[in-house]
Amino acid sequence: MSDFDRTLRPESRIVHPPVAEVNGSRPMGVPLHQSHLFAFETSDALVEAFGGPGGAFFYNRYGNPTVRSLEEAVAGLEGGTGAIATSSGMGAINTVLLALLRSGDHVIAQRSLYGGTFAMLADLVERWGVEVTHVGGDDPAEVTAALRPNTRLLHLETISNPTTRVTDLPGLIAAAKAAGVVTVVDNTFATPLLCRPIEHGADIVIHSATKYLGGHSDVLAGLAVFAGPELHEKVWHHAIELGATADPFAAWLTLRGLQTLALRVRRHCDTALDLAGRLAAHPAVTAVHYPGLPAHPDHELALRLLPEGHGGVLAFDLAGGREAARAFTESVRLASLAPSLGGVHTLVLHPASTSHRQLSDAELAAAGIGAGTVRVAVGIEHPEDLWADLEQALAKA
Ligand code: PLP
């Protein structure tokens, strides 16, 4: 990154990803290098290219110019020294966990994790002899109490799904770092525009770029961003063995989406706050989960950790339980009944029967997910059109 780039705010930097000159002029769009193989003039240069994550390009599993542009852009936004782009968010999570853990290691992970991450950790326990202790997101003392001599990694998410609890990143990270434990934060829900976990001490930041970074429901991609070169290099060697590398076209689509991230995130946050307030006043709704509302249990923490906005996901509980949730999710017309989040379209989902169906009734209750809980991933449509849609669907719930 040049000295000039360093003076720019993230909103300006993401519109100007570094692009090399071609034949005397500079393309304004990031070029797509759809070649998986690169040739060399000398054997020494090829040998050198195998050395590490920043080397010359020779084979896409190791690196590609378009993929590198995405890695540099997101590393810059997160305040990291480098990144590895992967074929999905799960690709990034698996790459990091498998690179840093071995049998007999202990992991401390948040209880309210994305289902795929939860399942991956359970798999590591069952088949690889890794030990996992789950903790809440608000009490650093719980992390300290869970520490063991073999604890290697703390895995957190900035905002939990679907009840939007905000994690005390500074507190939990400090507790783990005091014991030399590597700290990993999945920042998918917050994006680097709302929260930069490296500023709070995180070693690695994960993104499902499938969500806000890509932003248009047309690409599956992920990223692991590193606070320093040591972990980057270590994970990169495993990344190329695992082969979860991002495809150049996926990287190109993500870079294209990334350029409007600031506008989209502003709109997602404003509309989510607006809808959350209106839902809270609706008679069919018994509770609204959105950190921007003063009644949310983490509102104070959210104001400190996410001062620019509280994200585009909210959830609410319907008095009529499962049947009301079914009627609501099947009655929306502008919003769509679909999983995922972070795209331009508004989506609704019943977590208990879909994204969180693997949880027992007791686990659902502990996570604050009821039979009548509905998640809304707020898009960028006009807020009045969205409210009209939610209101007519609420009337049928
Ligand atoms: N992390 C979080 C917080 C997610 O919500 C998801 C997917 O929903 C993932 C990771 C996995 O991302 P992907 O579907 O791109 O593999």
Q: How much is the pLDDT for 6?
A: 77
317 is catalytic: no
Who contacts 319 (Cβ-Cβ below 8 Å, separation ≥6)? 284, 285, 286, 372
Q: Identify the residue whose C-alpha is closest to ligand 1 atom 14.
A: 89
- In the block, tokens 């890509």 appear at 214
**Tens digits of residue pLDDT in 242-252:** 999 999 999 99
Whether residues 233 and 203 share a domain: the answer is yes
Domain identity same for 103 and 245: yes
Both 53 and 136 in one domain: the answer is yes
Per-residue confidence (pLDDT) for residue 73, from 0 to 100: 94
Burial class (CB in 10 A: 0-12, 13-18, 19+), 129: exposed
d(CA 250, CA 332): 31
**Is residue 162's pLDDT more than 80?**
yes
Same domain, 274 and 179: no
Examine the domain organization and report whether 288 and 197 are in the same domain.
no
**Count of structural domains within the chain:** 2
Strand (E) or helix (H) holding 363: helix 361-366
Report the separation in Å between the CA atom of 53 and the middle of ligand 1, taken as the mean of its atom positions.
24
User: Is 114 a pocket residue for ligand 1 (Cβ < 6 Å)?
Assistant: yes
Q: What are phi and psi of 90, to 5 degrees?
A: -65, -35
Is residue 248 domain-shared with residue 270, that is, in the same domain? no
Q: Where are the alpha helices (DSSP H) in 296-360?
A: 299-305, 321-331
Q: What is the pLDDT at residue 1? A: 66
Q: Is 331 in the pocket of ligand 1 (CB under 6 A)?
A: no
Ligand 1 proximity of 153 Cβ (cutoff 6 Å)? no
Q: Which of 50-54, 151-155, 206-210 has the lowest mean pLDDT?
A: 50-54
Q: In terms of Cα–Cα distance, which of 191, 200, 218, 249 is closest to 340?
A: 218
99 lines ligand 1 (CB under 6 A): no
Q: What percent of the chain has pLDDT over 70?
A: 99
162 lines ligand 1 (CB under 6 A): no
Among 241, 258, 275, the domain-final residue is 258
pTM: predicted TM-score of the whole model, two decimal places: 0.97
Q: Which residues contact 204 (CB under 8 A, 6 or more apart)?
A: 96, 182, 183, 184, 185, 224, 225, 226, 227, 231, 235
Q: For residue 221, give the ligand 1 atom closest to its CA.
A: 15
Q: Is 346 in the pocket of ligand 1 (CB under 6 A)?
A: no
Task: Compute the distance from residue 65 Cα to the ligand 1 centre, in Å.
Answer: 25
One domain, residues 240 and 267: no
Residue 144 has pLDDT above 90, yes or no: yes
Lowest-pLDDT range of 6-15, 125-134, 193-202: 6-15
User: Which residue lies with its CA nearest to atom 4 of ligand 1?
Assistant: 114
Checking if the pLDDT of 92 tops 90, the result is yes
Last residue of one domain, picked from the residues 202, 236, 258: 258
Whether residues 250 and 294 fall in one domain: no
Q: What is the CATH number of the domain that holds 155?
A: 3.40.640.10
| Nearest ligand 1 atom, CA 113 | 3
Ligand 1 pocket, residue 120 CB under 6 Å: no
Q: How far apart are CA 361 and CA 311, in angstroms?
A: 28
Catalytic entry in 196, 211, 264, 326: 211
User: Is 211 annotated as catalytic?
Assistant: yes
Q: Which of 218, 238, 258 is a domain's end point?
A: 258
DSSP tag of 269: H
CA 155 / ligand 1 centre spacing (Å): 14
- Mark whether 199 and 136 lie in a shared domain: yes
Going by C-alpha positions, the residue among 187, 220, 221, 222 that lies closest to residue 203 is: 187
Shortest-distance Cα residue to atom 12 of ligand 1: 89
Residue 385 a catalytic site member: no
Co-location of 90 and 110 in the same domain: yes
Q: Could you give the C-alpha distances from 124 to 11, 102, 103, 224, 295, in angstroms and in order?
A: 39, 9, 8, 19, 38
Annotated active-site residue in 68, 152, 168, 186: 186
Which is nearest to 208 in space by CA: 313, 344, 87, 88?
A: 88
Domain hosting residue 111, numbered range: 3-258
Q: Is 317 in the pocket of ligand 1 (CB under 6 A)?
A: no
Please check whether residues 275 and 247 belong to one and the same domain.
no
Residue scoring higher pLDDT (302 or 50): 302
Average pLDDT (210-220) is: 98
Q: List all residues 6 or more positions away from 227 whose beta carbon is below 8 Å from its beta carbon.
A: 79, 80, 81, 198, 202, 203, 204
Q: Is 165 a catalytic residue?
A: no
Distance CA 367, CA 149 (A): 29
The tens digit of pLDDT for each residue in 333-385 reads 999 999 999 999 999 999 999 999 888 888 888 888 999 999 999 999 999 99
Looking at the fold, whether 160 and 73 belong to one and the same domain comes out as: yes
What's the CATH code of the domain at 346?
Answer: 3.90.1150.10
Crossing angle for the helix pair 89-100 and 229-242, nearest 10 degrees?
Answer: 110
